[in-house]
Amino acid sequence: RVELRALLDVLRAPDATQVDQVSNAIGSLTPPSACGDSELLAATEPVPDAPAMRAQVTEARAGLARVDALAASGKYKEAADLGRELSKQAATIGYAPLIAEIDGTRGRILIDLHQWDEAKAALDNGQLAAERGRHHYERGNIVLALIYLAMQRNDPEGALVELKKADAIVTGLGGATANRARIEDYRSQALASLGKIDEAKVAAEKAVALYEEGEGKDTISLSSPLTQLAYVAYQKGDLVTSVKLLDRTLQIQLRVFGTDHPRIGIAHTNLAFNLSAADRLDEAQQHAEAAQTIYAASLGESSEPYAEASRALVGILQRRGKLAEAEKLAREVVAKLKEPKPTTRYANALDDLGAAVMAQHRADEALKLRQEALAIREQVLPPGHPSTVSSQIDVGDVLAELGRCKEALPIYEAAQKLTDGPEVPPYLAIAVRIGRGRCLVETHHQAAALQPLREALARNEHPEVVDDRKLRVMTNFELAQALWPTDKAGSRAAAKAAQAEASEIHAEDLGAALATWVASH
């Protein structure tokens, strides 16, 4: 302490040499661990002795317990309102650890309400108070909340920066299993947002193992990494695994929160998307509507979570052939998610609307929507992100539908180069090769089309997934057309395989197009 005071006196008016040497001077200080009162130096600032102030702190902490109870029961708005009142009281009291606890809790609740600017201000204030009051445990919690906030704001790179801070804090606190689990949990989410699917899976598996070691097999903490593992499985085309993981997540959350908590809505929404992709439409619609009901009651129909549940329902309606209903709902979602700053959520909504109008044969309108979604993703996502690749393929597909294959081919070729890496979901590698093969056929380069189409068939490894089966029908159809000039027997075999599978999965539009082609050949 004497050394530090002396150094600060010297540095009050440093010359150029002292500025250059300041890091060395700080590094030469005796470490705090060598001090006889090192534990006291690291301990959280104690509650003041003044009886009146101690009573105020006790009362405020009782209020904070009330905030926690409201949030746990899903009453986020009430919890946030009370948190704001307590924050003002804590600032008046002036006890730094109390400010950290209240603003840290308030910030986490505001994240759930998607009031991100206020959440960031609360967490930043809480972090400063935690540092000032040496409240290391709460500082760690706040840093983890800032990581989560960065991901919610589509800033996974920022989340990884905060993760480095959290790593250091957790190590300083002894590396407790629960804290280490949360870091791996958030790391998984950040990596998944960056499109680093395999790395995200490794981090999520570590988080699951650590949570199960520290808290048990049914702890609510498992919800997040299990959801991330489900996302990875979905991206890999393994819908059986993704649905199983999401159902486990829902059952865990139901035991803890009951049926009406907003967190239950997240599980319902995720299941709706996955079950829809598996063509289990009745179950998918039940989950989507359950999520809408929960969010309407807790966060309101104008909230982003409600819009996300509606997005799931858009896809279900479209698969059912209710195209006008799907378009109407998709337009409502686009209106709700539009913000001054472009987001991937808004791009997703534009894609949903684009798919709905494309299904109604309005390709020119669909192209504008797809191009806007692609521009957003290129702006906000890192280069080569799977979502951007998917957008490129979507734009190419619409151009091909409009007969503009010369414009579509360079887009497909650029996208295909990005699908060879391990992080890109297999279905994208299949879809881009189908699109490229089709356009090569349309531009009379049948021989060149054979390689990408055969590669698409070889990569299609999930016969139980309806969407993959549709891709296989499309691939065989395009292959039949590519083979026709040089191998008519092979062409007819590919067409026959496509017809048989189209019939099995009730793909009427594809079946009709195939029948027309076969009849003329």
Q: Which of 3-17, 173-187, 233-247 has the highest mean pLDDT?
A: 233-247
Mean pLDDT score of the chain: 86
Whether the per-residue pLDDT at 42 is higher than 70: the answer is no
b/e burial code for range 81-94 (CB count within 10 A of at least 16 → b): ebbeebbebbeebe
Whether the per-residue pLDDT at 421 is higher than 70: the answer is no
How sure is the predictor about 41, in pLDDT bands with cuts at 50, 70 and 90?
Answer: very low
Whether the per-residue pLDDT at 29 is higher than 80: the answer is no
**Residue 213 belongs to what H/E stretch?**
helix 197-215
Residue 17: per-residue pLDDT: 47
Residue 503 zone, left/alpha/beta (φ > 0; ψ -120 to 50; rest): alpha
Contacts of 341 (CB under 8 A, 6+ apart): none
- Asked if residue 274 lies in contact with residue 246, where contact means CB atoms within 8 angstroms, the answer is yes
pLDDT digits (tens, 9 = 90+) for 111-160: 988 898 999 999 999 999 998 888 877 887 888 888 888 877 777 777 77
Residue 140: per-residue pLDDT: 77
The rounded Cα 63 to chain-centroid distance in angstroms is 33
Residue 458, token pair as written in the block: 């070889």
CB burial of residue 170 (10 Å; 0-12, 13-18, 19+): buried
Q: Taking residues 476-490, report their average pLDDT.
A: 91
Whether the per-residue pLDDT at 38 is higher than 50: the answer is no
Tell me which residue of 87, 90, 92 sits closest to 107, measured CA to CA.
87
One DSSP character per residue, 50-79 reads -HHHHHHHHHHHHHHHHHHHHHHTT-HHHH
pTM: 0.70
Residue 192: per-residue pLDDT: 84
Contacts of 22 (CB under 8 A, 6+ apart): 11, 14
More confident residue, 177 or 241: 241
**Domains of the chain, first to last:** 2-42 (no CATH), 396-521 (1.25.40)
